[in-house]
Structures are given as structure tokens and as C-alpha cells.
Amino acid sequence: MSRLPGWAWWLIGLAVAAGLAAGMVVVLARTTWGQERVLDQTIRFAGRQLQGTLAIERVSGNLLTGAQVYNVSLHGFDGEPLLVADSGYVDYNLRTLLGNRTVIDYVVLHNPRLRIRRMPGDSLWNFQEILRDTTDRGPSERTTVLSRIAFRNANVTVISPWEPDGELRGAARRSAIREAVDDTVRLMVDSVPGGFVRTSHFRQMDGELVDLVLGPEAGGGTYLRIRRIRGLAYVYRDPVRIRQARGEVAIRDGRTEVRADTVLLPASRLTGYGVVHPGDTLRYDFVFQADTAASRDFQWLYPNFPERGGGTLRLKFETRPDGTLIHVTDARLSAPGTRVRGNFGVLLGDTVRFFDVGLTAEPLDVRTVEQMLPTALPVRGLRIGAVEIRNPTP
């Protein structure tokens, strides 16, 4: 029997090494023992990258291509949670995990609870604090792409600092604070150590996001498309029910820009765009075009809107330090006994101020109009014919 040449033994050795390596990969990827080892190392690695604590109770599946995770939580070092989820699934491209461009093909989260928070005196939001890079490597060039994200029964809470109108002084300021923290008013404001906070809730949210890119500002920042989303939004104490929404979101230079291709409320259909400014307090600035608008769908914004009625309009909604601005233009609206066209604006704050009022009503039911106003009108009855109400823009 002839002896094998030296190079053959090298080939056999390489084959054995490759087989052992493949076996180790299979053990790590597909066995409970291996998955526990990978999970432990993953949490250790993530812990070094995060300014917080990541916990995953259990992982299963083929770790080469994806994994099912259970009881996931991410907390800040102060113990406050940022994200808690019952379970989720992650499908990723293993080759990209160590490069500058990570690609995650699919993520689904079940019953996630997201708590976005910035307290009085804080310079960063909690997610900015947890995700910030504390190394001396300079600006990060790393980009993460999530091709598709789905969530089921998500609950999101946003807590931000709140202050009354900066022009108020003395008794007027104290009165504004007492009114804001009253649990019967529309704003959800609470007193906390160091000041006051305003809370918004988004409940029972189901949806799907696609093409999410998390990148450095120099590379375009963060972008995503909303394929579909629905749920309850509590921007004020009374919710608005979103039957379906679709659009795009871009986050750059500290502000969030939103374009809504479609927003379906129970009986209204809108398109719009707007900006969320972070600042010292969250500030919303949105414009909507409603081809079909039912007044009851906007009672969360202004409770005095009638239960019956609607039409078409262009609506500007803006939060300001001195209140909430509602500006309606190009309106053609109907309500019981009344048809109105034109423009009007109202600033809802410590007092109610009207501006840019240019309305024509034909006919006019004074009772319907009176129900929409914060004070009583000095007339009664139904006016048949054209009634014009105008005042200049301040």
C-alpha cells in the first residue's frame, strides 16, 4: 500500500478542520446549548455598545439566518425601560453584521411597549442616551437597514417637558399650571421633580414599516416608509382613531418630517405633511387636506365640533407655547341647519382667540354655531339667507 503524498495529508487536514468548523457552527446555531452561548455573547457585546441594559430571556431557531427571541427588554442605566416586548423574530443577513452596513431583512415584535422620555433638565431623550456612542472613534459611518418591520398591539408613550406660556407671570402663570395639571382638561400634564411633563399615548397600534435606514446625519440620517399603521392616538385626553395610514418619515438635523399619503379616520379621508420639532418640548406643525371630513372625527382636537356634519377643508394644526392653533381654509362645511364656506382660525390656550375669520353661511342655524363657540351668542334662531362674518388677520 503506497503512502499518501504530503499535499494529500494537508487536504485531509483542511477537510477535517472544515468539518469540525461546520459542526461547531451547527452546534452553535441549532442546539439549545449553542444558542444559549450565542445569546450570552450577544448580550455581552450589545452591553458594551449600549448605555443601558439589554435582556433576552430565551432565543430559538437557526441563528445562521434568523432567531425567535422571547421577553426582550432594553433599560437605561437609571432602570427606566425604553422597550419591552413579549416576543419577536429577527431575520438577518449574517454576512453584513460585522460591516459598516448591516442588513436586517425582517423584524416582527409582539406586544411591544415603547417609552420615549425626556424629563425637565435632561439634554437628551432616553433613546439618544442609550444609543449614543461614547468611544473616541469620531462620527459613526455605520448604517443599518431594516427591510421590513411589523408590530402587533404596540403601545407607545411619549413624555416631554412642559411649560406654560412664557409671557405669563405671577398669578396668571400659577393659574395656567393649575388648569394644565387638572385631570379633567384635554392636556395630559403632570407635576414631576424639577418641573412638569406632557404625556401622549399611542395604543393598540398594528402596522408595518419598510425600507428603514438608520444612518449618520452626513449620509442622510434616518428614513422609513409606513406601509400601513392603525390604532388609537392620544395626543390629547380624547383619542383619535386611525383606521389606516400610509406615508414616509425622515429624521434629520434633530427634527422629524412626515408626509402622509393617506390617513383614514372613521368617516374622514386626509392627506398631509408636517414636522415634529424636538426643542425643549415636542412641538407639532401639520397641514392636512381633507377631501372627506366628518366633524366628529376632529372632536379630539376641538370638543365643540358638532356630532353631525362635515365637508371639505384644509386644516393647519400647530402646537405653540401659548396654546394650540387650528386654522381652517378653503372650507365647505355643513352642520345641522347650516352651510358654511370660507376660512377661520382659533388659538386655544388660556383664552380662546379667533383670527383670519372670513366665513359665509347660508343658511345659518345660530344654535349650531353657538354650540361650537366657548361663549354664548347674543342672538337666537335660524337665519335664512347669506350671513358674512369677517375680521382681519392679526
pLDDT of residue 16: 42
- Grid cell of 262 as nine digits: 393617506
Q: Are residues 258 and 225 in contact, defined by beta-carbon separation less than 8 angstroms?
A: no
pLDDT score recorded for residue 374: 61
Which pLDDT score is estimated for 42? 53
SS3 19: helix
- CA dist., res. 143 & res. 215, Å (int): 4
pLDDT at position 310 = 92
pLDDT digit of tens for each residue in the chain (394 aa)? 455 454 443 444 444 444 444 444 444 445 554 545 554 555 455 555 567 888 888 877 666 666 788 898 888 888 889 999 999 888 876 665 556 667 778 889 999 999 989 899 888 788 878 776 555 555 556 677 888 999 999 999 999 888 887 777 888 888 888 888 887 778 888 999 999 998 999 999 999 999 888 766 555 678 889 999 999 999 888 999 999 999 999 887 778 899 999 999 999 999 999 998 876 667 889 999 999 999 999 898 888 888 899 999 999 988 887 778 889 999 998 888 888 888 888 887 767 778 888 878 777 777 777 777 665 544 444 444 444 554 444 4
Residue-level pLDDT at 14: 47
Dihedral class, residue 381 (left if φ above 0, else alpha if ψ from -120 to 50, else beta):
left
Measured distance CA(10)–CA(6) in Å, rounded = 7
pLDDT of residue 380: 47
Length of the chain: 394
Q: Percent helix, strand, coil in the chain (nearest 5)?
A: 20, 50, 30
Query: What is the torsion angle, in degrees rounded to the nearest 10, for the CA atoms of residue 333, residue 339, residue 343 and residue 344?
Result: -90
Per-residue pLDDT at 384: 42
- Model-level pTM? 0.76
372: nearest Cα among 323, 309, 324: 309
Cα 67 to Cα 63: distance, rounded to the nearest angstrom: 5
Q: Residue ranges of the domains in the chain?
A: 7-49, 52-252, 265-393
The label of the residue with cell 345659518 reads: 364
Question: Which secondary structure element, helix H or strand E, spans residue 33, and what is its range?
Answer: helix 32-49
pLDDT of residue 8: 42
